[in-house]
Chain A
Amino acid sequence: EVQLLESGGGLVQPGGSLRLSCAASGFTFNNYAMSWVRQAPGKGLEWVSGISNSGGSTFYADSVKGRFTISRDNSKNTLYLQMNSLRAEDTAIYYCAKGHVGGSTVRFDYWGQGTLVTVSS
């Protein structure tokens, strides 16, 4: 059974940093691309960042480029999102999502339950 378990969310002040983690199990992690998708309160889904199966290619939405860094540790079956210079508009539930293949153009066949990030003073 595929499982994706996010952690690391919480309350942070504007300008602060946070690191999200997503522990994966139930599939061969290093065969699949992974992404972070967020959802602001009462809003729709927004793709934030993606990483290829090897970690060699990374991609970002313009809204987070230069502030967020996605990475993965295939030996630990874990995906990360380092978030710096956080803004109020980054407040959202952050979902870890598994791509259906290893490359960049993916649909998401499994999702975690999400971790809430709140940016507020």
Chain B
Amino acid sequence: EIVLTQSPGTLSLSPGEGATLSCRASQSINNNYLAWYQQKYGQAPRLLIYGASSRATGIPDRFSGSGSGTDFTLTISRLEPEDFAVYYCQQYGSSPPLTFGGGTKVEIK
């Protein structure tokens, strides 16, 4: 089972600032099959990024993903008020169990 470790646990930032979220895998993820999701309070998760760096349909270009192998990053270039949420990474490069990271909460400073 691939374990995903996200850091930091919480990021306190102001609107307009940039955010950098990390996801580290316990072993290399095949084909860089790493996805990022956003979850706002009381809502279901929403797919943001897949294949480590491809934006899902309708996702603004202020969201970008990068990385390969075991180290991946989600970057939000300029935080909008609606971006304050919890972000999860998920690997889908290996047979189940599919795994999620523990999440990073981006909160308003």
Main secondary structure on chain B at its contact with chain A? Answer: loop
* Interface residue range, chain A: 20 to 34
Whether B46 lies near A106 (C-beta < 8 A) is: no
Number of A-B contacts (CB under 8 A): 66
The answer to whether the Cβ of A46 comes within 8 Å of any Cβ in the partner chain is yes
B interface residues, tally (CB under 8 Å): 25
- Contacting residue for B33 out of A59, A61, A105, A109, CB 8 A: A105
In the assembled complex, A45 has its CB within 8 A of some CB on chain B: yes
Chain B, residues 98-109, CB within 8 Å of chain A (1/0): the string is 111111000000
Q: Are the CB atoms of B94 and A107 closer together than 8 Å?
A: no
Give the distance in Å from the alpha carbon of A116 to the alpha carbon of B97 in the complex: 22
Question: Which positions in B face A, CB cutoff 8 Å?
Answer: 33, 35, 37, 39, 43-47, 50, 56, 88, 90, 92-103
